[in-house]
Amino acid sequence: MSVSDLDWNAFSALPTESKVTFFAREDGFPFHTLFAQQFDRLLLDRLGGLATQIRTVAKTKSGMLFLQGLLGHKRAMLYFSQPSSRTFLSFYSACQILGLKVAEVRDRSTSSEFKGESQEDSIRTFSSYFDLIIMRTQEKGLAEKMAWTLSRSSRPVPIINAGSGKDQHPTQALLDVYTLQRSFERRGGLHDRSIMYVGDLARGRTVRSLSNLLMNYENIEHIFVAPDKLQIGADILEMLSAHGIRFVVTNDMRAHLPDVDAVYMTRIQDEWDERKGESAGIDTSAYKIGPEEMRMMRPDAILMHPLPRRDEISTEVDHDPRAMYWRQMRNGMWIRAALIASTFGMARCIEQYFRESL
Ligand code: NCD
């Protein structure tokens, strides 16, 4: 069966695990990247390895010129209808590393959407001009709908979801896992670990995608720390339970802080408030990390944040070697370059160049 056999209602009603089978390339890498559920352990290891090879190759001028030659014949559209700085720039730089030419629409008021055009029509338009569409939207299922639409069209260009509503942020999860892998690789690897997520877990998409990806690693315990109103969705807990994965749901950050291997902080996502001032009415003072909390953490634990931060991590801890958020951001550029290269079938070519240049 192919996507063409299913109308939108039939397709969208499928469980995610079935949907992802339509979006894979023959070599196993994703064609469209929409959900964290598309990545299994094999793919995660291969992508992480590829990202590390790309960053090594990029250190020399000849290596950089090789990388820039790979996709110099391709063009990418960055369609970001929701605010972004680092994800946008990280994709922009990843495209540049691979030689892709990049165009962007970030402000819908300057596009034909201002004249009443639907986002669907805008994206179809981009598919006529570009070979890859990287998109961030407020709407939960739009990237998926566009992938379904384009897969049935005469120009089935790949889509990468750079953040969809409150639901998924698969490439952030890739960079988070890559950061965890690199942080623990000299200390026995990414298994038998506990990770604590703190902040707005109800509306933050990064934790939803990351907890999903971490199911690929053995014996990871998830500790969800948030005020009741901002606690993680029941669907994530059901998913973990269904896979027999241990988790804790709590308001008490300090009780667990001394035990965990990684702390993943998030900001309050008040742009989603249904009533003005709704988030401001929630006491979040117990969900912040400063020097005192760092003293409570294990000396080998790491502190992560998808950024942007507000006051949930004090700038005083930025120089602590356990603070990983700046490195995490840089890892994002390399893992996105690895993802884009594999979307276009260039993984083998890079792996071979790397081996030969050793
Ligand atoms: C995150 C996002 O957009 O979901 N930002 C990012 O991509 N690094 C987190 C956030 O906005 O809080």
The 3-state DSSP composition of the chain as helix, strand, coil percent (nearest 5) reads 50, 15, 35
179 Cβ contact partners less than 8 Å away, ≥ 6 residues apart: 302, 304, 324, 327, 328, 331
User: Does 330 qualify as catalytic in the annotation?
Assistant: no
Instruction: Judge if the beta carbon of residue 332 lies within 6 A of ligand 1.
Output: no
Instruction: Judge if the beta carbon of residue 206 lies within 6 A of ligand 1.
Output: yes
Q: Which residue has tokens 């901002």?
A: 230
**How close is the Cα of 3 to the center of ligand 1, in Å?**
30
At residue 94 the predicted structure's pLDDT band, cuts being 50, 70 and 90, is very high
Is the separation of the CB atoms in 107 and 68 below 8 Å?
Answer: no
Report residue 183 as tokens: 């942080």
At residue 107 the predicted structure's pLDDT band, cuts being 50, 70 and 90, is confident
**How close is the Cα of 183 to the center of ligand 1, in Å?**
21
Query: What are the Cα distances from residue 207, in Å, to 158, 232, 279, 300?
Result: 25, 9, 19, 22
CB crowding 236-257: b at 16 or more within 10 Å, else e: bbebbeeeebebeeeeebeebb
The Cα–Cα gap between 173 and 193 comes to 17
User: Does 182 qualify as catalytic in the annotation?
Assistant: no
260 Cβ contact partners less than 8 Å away, ≥ 6 residues apart: 194, 195, 196, 223, 297, 298, 301
Percent of the chain with pLDDT over 70: 100
User: Does 115 qualify as catalytic in the annotation?
Assistant: yes
46 Cβ contact partners less than 8 Å away, ≥ 6 residues apart: 342, 347
The arithmetic mean of pLDDT across residues 36-46, rounded, is 97
User: Does 136 qualify as catalytic in the annotation?
Assistant: yes
Phi, psi of 174 (to 5 degrees): -65, -45
**How close is the Cα of 190 to the center of ligand 1, in Å?**
23
Closest CA to 25 of 43, 8, 50: 43
Closest CA to 50 of 334, 328, 330, 332: 334
Q: What is the DSSP letter of 263?
A: E
Quick one: CA dihedral 26, 27, 31, 35, positive or negative?
A: positive
Report residue 189 as tokens: 């690897």
Q: What is the per-residue pLDDT across 234-257, written as a single tens digit (0 to 9) for each?
A: 999 999 999 999 999 999 999 999
Among 87, 271, 279, 331, name the best residue to mutate to test ligand 1's pocket (greatest count of ligand atoms within 8 A of Cβ).
Answer: 87
**113 pLDDT above the threshold of 90:** no
**110 pLDDT above the threshold of 80:** no
pLDDT at 83: 84
User: Containing H/E element for 89?
Assistant: helix 86-97
**11 pLDDT above the threshold of 90:** yes
The Cα–Cα gap between 268 and 68 comes to 38
Amino acid at site 77: M
Considering only residues 316 and 115, tell me which one the structure prediction assigns the higher pLDDT: 316
What pTM did the predictor assign?
A: 0.97
User: Does 205 qualify as catalytic in the annotation?
Assistant: no
Q: Give the other-Cβ count within 10 Å of 277's Cβ.
A: 8
Query: What are the Cα distances from residue 186, in Å, to 5, 148, 192?
Result: 48, 41, 14
Of 59, 115, 186, 319, the active-site residue reads: 115
Closest CA to 288 of 252, 259, 270, 314: 314
Of 25, 75, 86, 309, the active-site residue reads: 86
**How close is the Cα of 87 to the center of ligand 1, in Å?**
8
Of 46, 169, 193, 222, the active-site residue reads: 169
